[in-house]
Structure 1
C-alpha cells in the first residue's frame, strides 16, 4: 500500500510540471511597423531556439498571437524575425509573471514624465548706459572701459565725430559681472578729463557736467 501511495504522489508531481499546468503562456504582441514572419520560444536554460511557433502565418502590425510553450519553464527566450529579414529578441523573460510580451513600443505602459529643463543661469548685470554731455562744450573723443580692462579701447565717437553739449549717445559694455567703468573725454582744444570707478549697472544714463 505504501508503494502505491508513493507512486500516486510521484504521478501528481509529474502532472504538476506538465505543459498543461504551466503558467508561462502569453500573448505575443506586434507593435512594430512590419509583420513578424517567424517566432521562436525556448527555455533560457537551453541554446536551441526550436521551431517556428507561428503555425498560422505572420503576425501583422498591431496584431497579437497566443503562445502556449510545450515546456513548463518560466524563464524564456523569445526571438522574432520581421518581413525585411531583421530580427529582435527578449532574453530571460519571466513569462509566468506576465500575460503579454511586446515587440515595439508598449502603448499600455505609462509615458514617462519629461525631464525638467536645466536651471537657468542668472544673467550678469548690464553695465551699459547712455552718456549725456552737459559740459557746455562739444566733446571730440570719448573713451569708456570696464575697470577690469587694462586699456581705454577705441574712441566711442569715432573719427571726425563730436558730441555737442546737450547731446547723448549709448555706451555698450560687455556683461562680465563687472559694474564699474573708467571714462575719459577729450574736448576740442585737447583738454582731457577722467572719471574713475563709476558704477554703471544701476543707472540708465550718466551725465557729465
Structure 2
C-alpha cells in the first residue's frame, strides 16, 4: 500500500512538471516583403560553422508569401538566418532568438527582430560556385590572418553547377579560399575581400 502511494505521488509530480520541462519551440514563419522573390534560404544554430543546405531547394519564395521554417527544439533558440534575393543580393540576421517570435519579416526593417549582437563592419559570407568541368571534393576557407586552413567545409562532393553557402564571422573581410578538385588538383585564392562579393566562381 505504501509503495503504491509512493508510485502515484511520483507520477503526479512528473505530470505536473511536464509543461515546465517542455522545450521552447524555435520554429517560425519567414515572410518575404522585399518586393522580389527570395531564391535561397539558410537557417542554422549560431554554434554551427556552416550554413547548411538551402531550405527552399529548387523553389523560390515570392514577394508577399511566407515560408514555415521548422527547427527541432534540440537545435536551441539562437539561430542565424541568411536569404539571397533574386537579384543575387544576400541579407542576414545573426544571433536571433527565434523562440520568442512567430515570424521574421525580410524587406521591412521596422519588423525585424532585435539582435543581441553588435553591428559589425562588412558581411564576408558568400556563395562558392563550381563552374568547372569536374566535382570539388574539398573546400577550405579561413581568415588571411590564420596560419592554417581549418576544417573541410563540404559535406559531400560538389558537382559542376552547384554552389556552397560559405558562412564566415562578421567583420572578417579578408579571407583565403582553397578548393581540391576530384582529380586531386588544388586551387587557391588568397587575400580576397569577401565582403565585396556575392558569388566566388571557380572554373
Flag whether TM exceeds 0.5 (same fold). Answer: no
Higher relative helix content: 2
**TM-score, normalisation: structure 1:** 0.43
**TM-score, normalisation: structure 2:** 0.45
* Greater Rg by CA: 1
